[in-house]
Structure 1
């Protein structure tokens, strides 16, 4: 629980700086490009600096994987890696929408299977999702659990959106095959996965292979600790070393049965005739 207290406070430090930028009207100002390749907003940079500074003050040795700063090591042979997204949902943040979060995951080892603690904090929603490996998951300090939904036709599903035009036919095809379900998208993968954990929705899917480790590391642990069935496919392999460069595809569901149905629907979408699908009724 020591790590949980540490990253909770670090997330709040980052949130404070992000909200300051909103009040000053500088939140959406572009100040360069981060190591992850995306344009960096003033709010992203301010939040990240606050988080890393806080962690360095309280940890002698640590490794950081973060959106803006990239991969950094402090001290000798750090045993723990802190995977940070200072603002997940930057487009929402820039436009003043509340669907963004500060995400911090702690890895003791090299893979996502080695996650030991995580926090996803949405300050404008007043929602703090947390988890510790083997101990469970919480929302604002109260235990959370996934739903028991195992029928895709009755499920509420978050579908991860992608800005890459090359994937738009697949996204549309997936939407068509999910017509029996209620489909939503928030634009923040960490929040969407966390809502699966809390039972707010039944499943989440993003199979485009463009997701970064920093986006979902903490939320994957939160979902698993809340009882979700989670399948991660990486650009290296499922047990590949976590890095800023690795891209992921994720399915999370309240039950394995529901997750398998969602997988099948995705495969069906891939087999659709994209030249005809825009005329489907």
Structure 2
């Protein structure tokens, strides 16, 4: 169960404003700028392979994850000080109440979606942030995803469309069917049955290593579809799914619609595609990933003191793919 915390920051005004209407673009850009400075200091695989306990989402936490989250929460503290009340849901800290949590407004954030890529100096990892007016994916109102590798900035407001670097984003591909399909959570034992199910239906598969980025790739027609090979969390997909939907793509959680919770304890598969027919195809294949493969080995992770890097001879702890 994710632990609920309370922020000590006091609001600067007696009445909370509408969080959905806040200037999220500028707030998120400040987060991105500070994170870029962090990444420039933490260069190299060794520097980024330092662990710092276990986050509320259940994964072993990298120190760079924690520091990225500190940057995001510093900006959220400023928003609360400006009079906004909300609950933040984050992979590392869990649920944190900023003022009155009874208004139902939530900020769902993954400061570093694609931690393994970041640790291994692979360029595809992102900041993913969503603002919701209610408890489900259908209630997400604002979404922001920044791809630190390409510098792409994705943004969407519910009912107002999606954009990439300020230009309208449309989920349109070249019209060749499932030419390129993204898959996330690509452990071999879960990937193989999915690939078998897509034989003759998909032309090529790609694994980016960030659910948020993969959803945005569908939004821009770079992927014809995407799917997860293991159950995801709300922080992984909340922003990307709104961007994809506002761009015109079809999105489904748990093989169905958007009626899934935003709490950190929830787990579900996500799939998206440029149209309903392609979505149905990847959903059918995704069912094979939902079944635990026969003989699948669950690796026991070694315990090590917080703040130490993993030795080369040890298998690394599980971190967000």
Is the Cα contact below 8 Å between 1:232 and 1:248 reproduced in 2? yes
Cα drift, residue 274 of structure 1: 7.2
Q: Which residue does 2:301 correspond to in 1? A: none
Pair 130,238 (structure 1): closer, same or farther in 2 beyond 3 Å? closer
Q: 1:82 and 2:104 equivalent?
A: no
The alpha-carbon deviation at position 21 of structure 1 amounts to: 4.2
TM-score, length-normalised on structure 1?
0.85
Structure 1 segment 1-281 matched on structure 2, within 5 A: 2-13=22-33, 15-23=35-43, 26-59=47-80, 60=83, 61-77=85-101, 78-148=103-173, 152=177, 154-163=178-187, 168-180=188-200, 181-206=203-228, 208=230, 210-233=231-254, 238-267=258-287
Which whole-Å deviations, capped at 9, do the CAs of 1:162-185 have from their partners, x for residues lacking one? 45xxxx544202112323421111
Name which of structure 1's ranges 168-177 and 212-221 shifts more when overlaid on structure 2. Answer: 168-177
**How big is the alpha-carbon RMSD for the aligned residues of Structure 1 and Structure 2?**
2.7
Contact 2:113 2:128 in 1 (8 A): yes
Task: Report the Cα distance in structure 2 between the residues aligned to 1:216 and 1:268, rounded to whole angstroms.
Answer: 21
Q: With the length of structure 2 as denominator, give the TM-score of the two structures.
A: 0.75
Residues 10, 55 of structure 1: alpha-carbon distance in 2 compared, 3 angstrom cutoff? farther
Quote the Cα distance in structure 1 between the aligned partners of 2:290 and 2:185. 16
Q: Which is strand-richer, 1 or 2?
A: 1
State the Cα deviation string for residues 187-215 of structure 1 (Å, max 9, x = none). Answer: 1111111111011111001153x211101
Encode CA deviations 1:208-262: one digit per residue, 9 max, x unaligned: 3x21110111000000001001011289x95243111100111100011111122
The alignment partner of 2:159 has SS state of coil
Deviation, structure 1 residue 3: 4.3
Distance 1:257 1:148, change over 3 A: farther
Could you tell me whether the CA contact under 8 Å between 2:235 and 2:264 is conserved in 1? yes
C-alpha distance in 2, partners of 1:19/1:190? 19
Bigger mean CA offset, 168-177 vs 38-47: 168-177
**CA distance in structure 2 between the partners assigned to 1:106 and 1:179 by the alignment:** 38
